[in-house]
Amino acid sequence: MADEFSGIAGTPEPSEPSEPSEPPAGDAASDTHQGGQGGQDGQGDEGWSDVPRYVVGALLGGTLGAVAIAAITTVIKEVLAVVSRQDTWVIITLPVLALAAATFVLHVIGCDESAVRRAPQPPAPSRQGRQGGRRLWYVPRIPLAWRTFPSDVARADLTGDVVASAGVEERFPWRQAPLRALAIVITVGLGAPMGTESPAAHLGTAGGSWLGQSRPRLRRMLRGAAIAGGAAGVSVLMGVSLIGTAFILELGRRRQVPLRPARVAAALVGGVVGWLVNIGLGLNLIRLITPKVAPDSLFQIIETCLYVGIFSGLLTTVSGVAIYRVKGWTASPVVRLVVGAAVMLVATLTVLFVADRRSAVGPGGGSILWAEGPGIDSPAWLLLLVAALRATATTAAVAAGGCGGIFVPFLAIGDLAGRSFAPHLGISGDLAGASGAASGIAGGYRLPVTAVVMVIGIGGPALAMTTSIGCVLVASVVGVYATVALDHLHHRWTVAATDSRGP
């Protein structure tokens, strides 16, 4: 996904370089590509003998990542709360301005590696010039290495870096994290329809990678610190202990990184540390729906799995494929911004017209509040329409260059799609919503294990959790077949378009 999305649609990810001065991660020796065998700086093969070293690094990196993500997400939440209280014209305008500002940060302040190499070096100032008149103000200058991006990397693609550096975390581009963090706060804080889970994994991994490279004595702990930083960032955000563990390990599997003991141990420590920081600070960063009423019969469970799993999984899968495609759009940043912002604006205005203000701002939590609000008895088609409009807005924000995640938007999209069938199935709205949200992660984000861990971590009656897990399984199957079908249609369309242009 793009996503923060590379590889979600089931298409192999391109290898991405992580630092301007280093070779691409995909060009690493085959042993490092297969999950860190050999490694650099004594990283080891991640076997049992490496577990203590990885655990110590995980404690350091996980703590740093969790605290950093808690602070950044709290800032985003407070800014978004202020934005949501503004007049309607403000909440319509600010997301567009947010996308423009994020584009400025990543493509104007940030620069392209190839352009930097071609640019002539400015002459050094003369001694007389350095000792000349007194400066009236000081303008901080960002070091070039901290704002230079490789030419073939989508600068707003946060998940792509996590996937590309899996197994070779020493190559993670942590120097660009501050610039991306600024773009994330602007994009999500000002109400664009994007989330914070991919930023949490990216910035948490960056913190652990930086920690491991900041001192020579810590280099041997770098991978453990980076893995745990990403896991802790997601866990402190979601408030579920092992969801960060599953998230970071499942992303690594997209690069065929083996689940070796040291790697799993670091991810487990990171997930628990993030959860403990969430509890210790009393955080409530993301609202997850807990089902309270279980289905009445086996038939109702099967019917719910089929309806909710198929429709929530299908809608988010189509959204995921669309997001993957727009991430590969090669238009200039200005063209992407204009087209993406225009589509997002139309979708937002339509949501305002058919639903309410809450549904139009932010990653999607407001739309769930609207759907479950007192006195709301929306027909199924309206809930599905709002879910589709939310999916369109998120896809357009990604196309425009927004810097954020799609995990939380997919939770909202799946929740709304699931709720649309609650009256027909005779189940409670919270069960339909929770099952739909989990299906959205399994189908659209292609993270079924993470979805199952989320269901278990949220809790609820045993039959309700069983129903949600069944929906996850159905959505996973639907996601695979729908992705294959959409890829086939895209291939046929590409061939037909090529043939129509002639030789």
In the chain, the domains with their CATH numbers are: 40-115+144-281 (1.10.3080.10), 298-501 (1.10.3080.10)
Pick the residue with more confidence: 492 or 118? 492
Give 95's contacts (C-beta < 8 A, 6+ positions apart).
190, 191, 192, 193, 344, 348, 361, 397
pTM of the model as a whole: 0.85
Q: What is the token pair recorded at 258?
A: 């083996």
Give 91's contacts (C-beta < 8 A, 6+ positions apart).
83, 84, 191, 357, 360, 361
pLDDT of res. 41: 47
pLDDT of res. 14: 38
Helices assigned H by DSSP within 85-196? 88-104, 113-118, 127-130, 158-164, 177-189
Distance (Å, rounded) from C-alpha 426 to C-alpha 301? Answer: 11
pLDDT of res. 130: 47
What is the residue type of 408? Answer: V
pLDDT, tens digit, 9 for 90 and up, residues 13-52: 333 333 333 333 333 333 333 344 444 444 556 778 889 9
pLDDT, tens digit, 9 for 90 and up, residues 442-466: 998 999 999 999 999 999 999 999 9
pLDDT of res. 36: 43
DSSP 323-378: HHHHHT--S-HHHHHHHHHHHHHHHHHHHHHHS-HHHHSSSSHHHHHHHHSTT---
Distance (Å, rounded) from C-alpha 479 to C-alpha 146? Answer: 38
pLDDT, tens digit, 9 for 90 and up, residues 343-379: 999 999 999 999 988 899 899 988 999 988 765 567 8
Query: Sign (positive/negative) of CA torsion 218, 220, 223, 224?
Result: negative
Q: How many CB atoms lie within 10 A of CB 282?
A: 6
| Interhelix angle 197-214/177-189, nearest 10 degrees | 160
Q: What is the token pair recorded at 51?
A: 């577990």
Confidence at 143, pLDDT banded by 50, 70, 90: confident
Burial class (CB in 10 A: 0-12, 13-18, 19+), 139: exposed
What is the residue type of 175? Answer: R
